[in-house]
Amino acid sequence: MTAREIDTAASQLEQIRDQRRARLLVAAAAAGLAASALPVSDALAVALVCGAAFLLVLAIVDTLRRRDLIFRLALNKHAYAVPEVRRYGNGLVAPSGRRRAAEALERVLRNAGSPGSYYLAGRVRACRREIRELAEALRAPESQVEPTSLAMCWQLLRNGVDSPLYNWHLPAEDLRVTVRRIRAGVSDS
């Protein structure tokens, strides 16, 4: 990702944040107007409530878009110049964030192959040792973890389309390669 692309993404984050804030303010104003319009006109009050509800839905969509953009930017080490991405990365590498990632990896090992599991059991079995070692390294208090590695770990765990844990269209070897790339960002200092 180039510096220009990072700047564009940072301004996009600001635009989404400002748009969400504006929608929430207008929704609050519409809800207030609806309350005061109720004695005058039921139809007007209902229309204002519907408008406020629609704006709230749009604000939720904005929140999800913003989170997704931060999540994608967190995969690039140069994007940590953006304050929102840096905050997200700091949360990932905090002890609680590392513990959550380790627990999620252990759940993969525990649940792969069980009924209702979406993990591709054969792939998990083939990489069981590497996944277990990664989880142990994340739990180790003395280890240092790159935020990009944890962002990649969460992408592996959450993104069904791009994750070889879930998507059988991707080569099976991609799981081992991804786990090794994540592990390369964890040093045993």
3-state secondary structure of 186: strand
Confidence of residue 189 (pLDDT cuts 50, 70, 90): low
Q: What is the pLDDT of residues 102-142, one digit of tens each?
A: 999 999 999 988 888 899 999 999 999 999 999 999 999 99
What is the C-alpha separation between 160 and 167, in angstroms, rounded? Answer: 6
Q: Which helix (H) or strand (E) holds 187?
A: strand 186-187
| pTM score, whole prediction | 0.81
3-state secondary structure of 155: helix
Domain ranges of the chain: 3-73, 89-187
Q: Which residues contact 71 (CB under 8 A, 6 or more apart)?
A: 88, 151, 154, 155
**Averaged pLDDT score across all residues of the chain:** 94
